Amino acid sequence: MQSMRGFWVCWSPPFSIIEQSRTEDYRIASSDIGGQIIISEPISASKRCQFSHASTNVLSMKWFVWKDMSRDFLLSLHSGDTLILWNTDNGEKIWSVSYNVPLFDLAIDPFDPCHASFSSLGCNIALCSDISFNNTPSSTCRTVVICEEQIKSATSIQNLVYHNAYRNILFVVTQSQVHCFHTELFAVLFSMTHEPNIISWLCCSSSDAIFSVQAGGAVSLRVGKFSSNDERADAQFALERIAFGDIQRQGNQQRAVGACLCPVTQSLQELYIAIAISGAIQYLALE
């Protein structure tokens, strides 16, 4: 979850779904505006390792689970369009690759860590399918134009999120629209407008449920909708909003800056969302 501009915080995934209480598995990766990445153990409040890539800032970072065997690796995207795989036990740089297109954000396919997507200039995305622990990826990506944007010198993509319950579905969220992109067909399945000031786009891992969180603290729940008539060519996909809620704020100056779904309660009757607002964490329970 991102807490401030230029700062990132990522919890490592549990080593086992069954043994989530093992304290030795708890690790946090954080980065600051100076590009330093710190791996720490939250239970003991101790620093495990610290490393950086010289003269660069961290644009995004994700824990990299290779063949479901280890949680010791971290992927970080740096300024200069450089992607690095780190060993978080000792800070060793396993490999580094500089791409030939501008990159701003990173998303890893939850079903196949070899596949990664990046936001690029305008409303373009770059797709990479050769992320590996053993070999350095090539410096070329497949670039896809999601929509035509007037902004050409920067990215207009605010969130880049894979669906956690369905394969090959990537949501590309801009300031006013969300585009549902199929990464295997290389096609936009549908596009729709959304509420203003979206800060987080959250997909459940066990159902077709999607939450959007606005900077003002409003939370919307959407589910997939399919409509058709006698003509198959007229079939349409969409997301239908079925619930809406708001969280309490001390004043209009307080803004939500990040949100995440609880990984344990997503398949239960209650689901919890943690929302960071001006230095505090609030929990929203949905029944």
Bigger pLDDT: 21 vs 236: 236
* Amino acid (1-letter code) at residue 8: W
Q: 214-236 burial string, b = 16+ CB within 10 Å, else e?
A: bbbbbbbbbebeeeeeeeeeeee
Strands 28-31 and 142-145: unpaired
Split at pLDDT 50, 70, 90, the class of 107 is very high
Looking at the predicted structure, is the pLDDT value of residue 173 above 90?
yes
For residue 15, what are the CA distances in angstroms to 23, 39, 164, 173, 205?
A: 10, 16, 18, 30, 17
Asked whether the beta carbons of 123 and 157 are under 8 A apart, the reply is yes
For 183-217, the pLDDT digits (tens) are 999 999 999 999 888 989 999 887 888 999 998 88
Which pLDDT value is given to residue 1? 47
Q: What sign for the dihedral angle of Cα 61, 196, 261, 242?
A: negative
Please report how many Cα atoms fall inside a 13 Å half-sphere around the Cα of residue 100, on the Cβ side. 7
Q: What sign for the dihedral angle of Cα 143, 149, 154, 156?
A: negative
Asked whether the beta carbons of 15 and 25 are under 8 A apart, the reply is yes
- Please tell me which of 218-222, 234-238, 281-285 the model is most confident about, judged by mean pLDDT: 218-222
Which pLDDT value is given to residue 80? 94
Bigger pLDDT: 251 vs 122: 122
Closest CA to 189 of 177, 176, 179: 179
Separation between Cα atoms, residue 66 and residue 76, nearest integer Å: 15
Sheet holding 92-98, edge to edge: 58-66, 70-78, 82-87, 92-98
